Chain A
Amino acid sequence: MSEPRDKDEKKKDAPLKPDETSRREFLGGAGLSVTAAALSGAGALLSGSDEAEAKATWGEWFQKNYRLMTEDEKREAVLRLEKRYTEEFGKKTTVDSAPAQEGVLFGYALNIQKCIGCRRCVYACVKENNQSRDNPEIQWIRVLKMEKGNFLAENMDKGYPDPAGIQVGGNAYQNSGVVLEGEHYYEPAEVPEKGHFYFPMQCMQCEKPPCVKVCPVRTTYRDPDGIVVIDYNWCIGCRMCIAACPYWARRFNWGEPNLPAEEMNPVTHYLGNRPRMKGVAEKCTFCLQRTRQGRYTACVEVCPVGARKFGNLLDPNSEVRKILDKKKVFRLKAELNTYPKFFYFMD
């Protein structure tokens, strides 16, 4: 299956002319059976990747789903990854496998009154969690720009049917307040812009997550501390979870992720921010590589206005619990009954 390196180098130059061996491999495998097809697919995937990765990929290809691994297998998988990432990125990389802590249920609260739309959280998250930087560019947090809305006298009589009696006023078509309009590409010189407020979204770590229910191979599941995680090595890339997520929180590695070695964060977790491979889904994990070690998430740390709060929902003295106690709180799309652990609030 794996081929000499020099051939692969050639192939990169001429992608449309695969050399004979791998094409034969590919054709031979494709028709026989599912496993053979999968094997040849693996062969095709292996060619054109670099050496450290190719070796590890072979071992990874046969490994079990993370949850079902014995302690030894977990250790083996982690060591394999550490070796591979260290070689690949040229820096000592650790892959943590810390399980969920007892008596912890992570929750998040975001003050939409304070958010100024600066998107520092977006970039801190990208930096912390090793997302692909370009082609595909992946960002887990999206900050939506909302219009405060405006009522104008000249729109008073605009509507239909016209002029037989107006049923719809012209103002009905101007956004006032929270209507999801999906504007997250705003690029003004300065934020906050006049007449707007901001509404960040990311994975809500639902207690009843639709993504987990639809996953055919249970590669995504809810860990005991309430974080919905993904075993990237078990994902088959069917994108059911992406279609099922009502918060548009999941991203897909359409191509091989591009993560510059100098920007790679070497402190990783198996279920969190370790570098991903192409063809798998990923999303926010409340920075579990940090939060399971008692730290804040990157987005909470970086927020300049303190709009983001994070803590243990089971601890009555935690920030999040105090907010739930004292502030006006709502959940986004509560009617879908997914019970997000990500709350929005106002003072």
Chain B
Amino acid sequence: MKPLIRFALDSSMYVARGSAIFYGWIIFLGFLSFLMLLGAYEQFTKGMIVTNYNDQVSWGLYEAQFVFLVGVAAAAVTVVFPSYVYHHKKMKEIVVLGELLAVSAVCMVMIFIMFHMGRPDRLWHLIPVIGIFNWPHSMLTWDVVVLNGYLGLNAVCAFYYLYMKYTGREVNKLFYMPLVYISIVWALSIHTVTAFLLNTMPARPMWFHSSLPIKFIATAFAAGPSMIILSFLVINKFTKLKIADEAIETLAQIVTWCLGITIFLGLSEVVTELYPSTEHSFSLQYLIFGKHGLTGLVVWYWSAVVLLLAAFFMLLTPSLRKNHKLWLPLACVFTFAGVWIDKGMGLVVPAFIPSPIGELSEYTPSAIEIVNTLGGWATGLLIFTVLAKGAIGVLLGEVKYRAATDLASEFSSEWQPVVHSSEEIRK
């Protein structure tokens, strides 16, 4: 038990120490999270009337974040799979960071689910045994199962790996490897089930086609690794941990080809729907060209198209893809933004426009929705920052179990904080 307590203490101490930039970042995220708490209080006391949802468009910004972030969570597999199936040595060194991103993304998903629900106070109705769990009929219950399972798997894998490294022991492969392989398959399941949640509803023709799940996976494995690459580049810049170029290159190639598949699927959908142009294509028509003079999402759609195409061609060009100073991060930001738009304004919202009786009504999020959404993201990034920083300490060997030392020495005068000079970082 003692090493465990020490692990918690040591890593907390390590996380709590940082540069001014680090503290600034934490304070910034904390402030946004605090605003979210005020927004949540407002929404939970007054009801969802404070959002701009209505009976016609009954899902919106929150559900868009939920769908997008499930994809980001699933994308951790793009780090785990090359590491353990292809034995990508450089990737294996930092595989735990991918798992921690998955943990943070699932936490964000949970936050947005809470915002999505009309009665978050009745969440216990969903808990099997004490509530009623409509499994296997309801797709939402499948989603609850796979998301919680995924959170558990990644938390256990990441924690166990770091703890073993902390105490200087080897991981027990008999315990660890099965979990890793399960989590690889599981990662696909979470986003597939999220796609099924949407595309099993004939009432919403825009979702009701079988290419939706594969499009979900493709977009997720474009946006997720983009976020991972960006976080790796930040880690390279601000910490002593040096992530190998080979690892980033592998991820960049995954982004490239998933982006290619995404664009192809988008094109297929457009041709399939717009060529015969039946009533079922009205949502897509509204999204791409506007309909009956309503053009609320047209700009969003075309901006996503431009962003994704630009990112794809940047990533296709090896010299640009390998440029970690400007082009690769730019392409990643484009991919991330493009997929985010495509999943929200391009998928969740237009499916409700027109409504099943053919009524078109536009939706724009309210201020409270935007505040809560920003806060949800900030909370998730805060969780990721804290987890990743602790993990980096362990990976660097700066957070290590020293059985000989006791707590008192932590606070003795000999103790010096670990501070990296900028020269050290540049090495």
Contacts and interface: CB of A to CB of B under 8 A. Distances in A.
A242 interface: yes
Contacts of B37: 23, 26-27, 30
Contact of A248 (B51, B117, B202, B357): B357
A305 interface: no
B356 A247 contact: yes
A45 B121 contact: yes
Contact of B121 (A61, A201, A245): A61
Contact of B127 (A34, A180, A243): A34
B131 A217 contact: yes
Interface string B33-49: 00001101110111111
Contacts of A303: none
Interface stretch (A82-90, A231-239, A263-271, A289-297): A231-239
Interface in B135-185: 137-141, 144
B55 interface: yes
Interface in A209-249: 210, 213-219, 234-240, 242-248
Residue among B45, B127, B131, B355 with the highest chain A CB neighbour number at 10 A? B45
Interface in A81-107: none
Contacts of A179: 279, 358
Nearest to B292: A181
Contacts of B120: 37-38, 41, 236
Interface string A56-69: 00000100010010
Interface string A123-164: 000000000000110000010100000000000000000000
Nearest to B122: A236
A200 to B, nearest CB: 11
A217 B126 contact: yes
A291 to B, nearest CB: 25
Nearest to B118: A237
A251 B122 contact: no
A194 B403 CA distance: 91
B201 A210 contact: yes
Interface residues of B, number: 55
A205 interface: no
B133 interface: yes
Contacts of B134: 215-218
Interface in A247-263: 247-248, 251-256
A109 interface: no
Given A243-B204, A255-B46, A279-B47, A216 B41 contact: no
Contacts of B114: 37
A96 to B, nearest CB: 24
Residue among A16, A238, A240 with the highest chain B CB neighbour number at 10 A? A238
A196 interface: no
A254 to B, nearest CB: 4
B201 A254 contact: no
Given A238-B116, A243-B59, A246-B202, A45 B357 contact: no
Contacts of A44: 41, 44-45, 121
A37 B38 CA distance: 15
Contacts of B118: 235-239, 252-254, 278-281
B132 A246 contact: no
Contact of A216 (B40, B45, B56, B141): B141
B356 A246 contact: yes
A170 interface: no
Interface string A176-190: 000111111000000
Residue among B47, B56, B200, B360 with the highest chain A CB neighbour number at 10 A? B47
B58 interface: yes
A167 B37 CA distance: 57
Nearest to B44: A44
Given A35-B124, A42-B121, A254-B47, A18 B137 contact: no
A273 interface: no
Interface in B184-224: 200-204
A165 interface: no
B414 interface: no
A238 B122 CA distance: 11
B132 A218 contact: yes
A242 B49 contact: no
Contact of A239 (B58, B127, B141): B58
A201 B357 contact: yes
B127 A236 contact: no
A280 to B, nearest CB: 6
Residue among B131, B138, B360 with the highest chain A CB neighbour number at 10 A? B138
B54 interface: yes
24 contacts: A15-B42, A26-B37, A37-B120, A38-B121, A42-B121, A45-B121, A47-B45, A180-B357, A182-B358, A216-B126, A217-B131, A217-B132, A235-B118, A235-B119, A236-B123, A236-B126, A237-B119, A237-B122, A242-B58, A245-B356, A248-B355, A252-B48, A254-B54, A280-B118
Given A26-B37, A38-B122, 16 more contacts: A26-B40, A26-B41, A41-B120, A44-B44, A44-B121, A135-B49, A210-B202, A235-B122, A237-B48, A238-B117, A238-B118, A239-B59, A251-B55, A252-B58, A254-B53, A279-B118
Interface of B: 37-38, 40-42, 44-49, 51, 53-56, 58-59, 114, 116-127, 131-134, 137-141, 144, 200-204, 279, 352, 354-360
Interface of A: 15-16, 18, 22-23, 26-27, 30, 34-35, 37-39, 41-42, 44-45, 47-48, 61, 65, 68, 135-136, 142, 144, 179-184, 201, 210, 213-219, 234-240, 242-248, 251-256, 278-281, 336
Closest CB pairs A-B (n = 10): A237-B118, A182-B359, A255-B49, A279-B118, A41-B121, A180-B358, A246-B203, A182-B358, A278-B47, A216-B140
